[in-house]
Structure 1
Amino acid sequence: MTPQEIAAKVGEHFATSEWVEMSQERINQFADATGDHQFIHINEEAAKMTPFGGTIAHGFLTLSMIPYLSANSDMPRVDGIKMAVNYGGNKTRFIAPVRSGKRIRGHWKLLEMAEKRPGQWQQTVEITIEIEGEDKPALICEWMTLYFC
């Protein structure tokens, strides 16, 4: 789609991703990559004693799954794109923990698609990461991406 066609969808549900499992292996790998080895994420025996009843994914792991979820979604792609870069977030809220072994998926709502300079578009979306079988989402964030066409 052209950036202008995408801009016409402001306010609409924009995309849904496939489900992906947040396995203990993925959680452990994230802990190793970031140095965040808090027991609630990696020590299954100690985590059983918490209100969660087991290990949970890092909030930042859930947030960092957005590019993967986006790539595995039905999101319309921008025609003629040369490059896309993360621009930042306006707000992020971690609503509910993602227990090890649960599946998540993303939902996108288009909030803005604006041309900032010729050939440079800024997209703002609201992303909700749903946890399969749970009432509350894992997180809700407002995220911006710059597209260079």
Structure 2
Amino acid sequence: MTLSALTIEDLRRRIGSEIGISNWIEVDQTLIDSFAHSTKDMDWMHIDPERASRDGPYGGTIAFGFWTLSMLTHFSHEIGMWPADVAYGLNYGLERVRWITPVRVGARIRMRCKLLDIEDRGEERFLIRTDNSLEIEGEERLALVAEWLGMFVRSTGESSAAPNA
């Protein structure tokens, strides 16, 4: 059974366990350039492969740390972290984020997610707390670790769950 076929109550029984490992995705320059344009951060270490190869400390361009963090949403959908009885979810915050190893453009990353807690907040709202680790294929050190908080709102039964973040 995939997680998306579970309910919030079923997921509650998984507290303390790993709830998913995503597939690998390649970090390509187009993704990083798009992020740079959308955030108006045109740092050469991220968007200028020639200069980054010549002058940078990593032998080429690297992903933005905030781009890497933002991939948690994509990966959470991919692993099916959204229970069937959830109408929508909202970002609630981050307790702890550490960028450990820069992610080189061309590398592949994936997420491991462990469910730490689900707290009933009343009115069919549930605070979910997860521990997320982004791995870099072939590297011993992680790209980042983050404790992520989300607010799930249980559906009223009138429509199926449609994950949003």
Superposition TM-score tier, normalisation by shorter sequence? over 0.9
Q: Does 1:67 align with 2:91?
A: no
Q: Does 1:104 align with 2:104?
A: no
- Equivalenced residues, count: 148
Q: Does 1:5 align with 2:21?
A: no
Q: Secondary structure at the match of 1:65?
A: helix
Candidates 17, 32, 45, aligned match of 2:50: 45
Counterpart in the other structure of 2:160: none
Letter in 2 for 1:66: L
Counterpart in the other structure of 1:85: 90
What is the CA distance between 1:68 and its match in structure 2?
A: 1.1
2: CA distance, partners of 1:78 / 1:114: 15
Aligned residues of 1:95 and 1:137 also touching (Cα < 8 A): yes
5+ residue gaps, structure 2, are: 1-5, 155-165
Candidates 27, 37, 40, aligned match of 1:35: 40
Counterpart in the other structure of 2:125: 120
Q: Secondary structure at the match of 2:86?
A: coil
Q: Secondary structure at the match of 1:99?
A: coil
User: What do the CA deviations read for 1:78-115 (whole angstroms, capped 9, x no partner)?
Assistant: 13211111111001100101100111111101110111
User: What do the CA deviations read for 1:17-49 (whole angstroms, capped 9, x no partner)?
Assistant: 111111011111111111111110011122112
Letter in 2 for 1:47: A
Q: Secondary structure at the match of 1:145?
A: strand
Structure 1 segments of 4+ aligned residues over 6 angstroms from their partners: none
Letter in 2 for 1:54: G
2: CA distance, partners of 1:42 / 1:2: 42
State the superposition RMSD in angstroms.
1.1
User: TM (normalized to structure 2)?
Assistant: 0.86
2: CA distance, partners of 1:92 / 1:104: 17
Q: Secondary structure at the match of 1:82?
A: strand
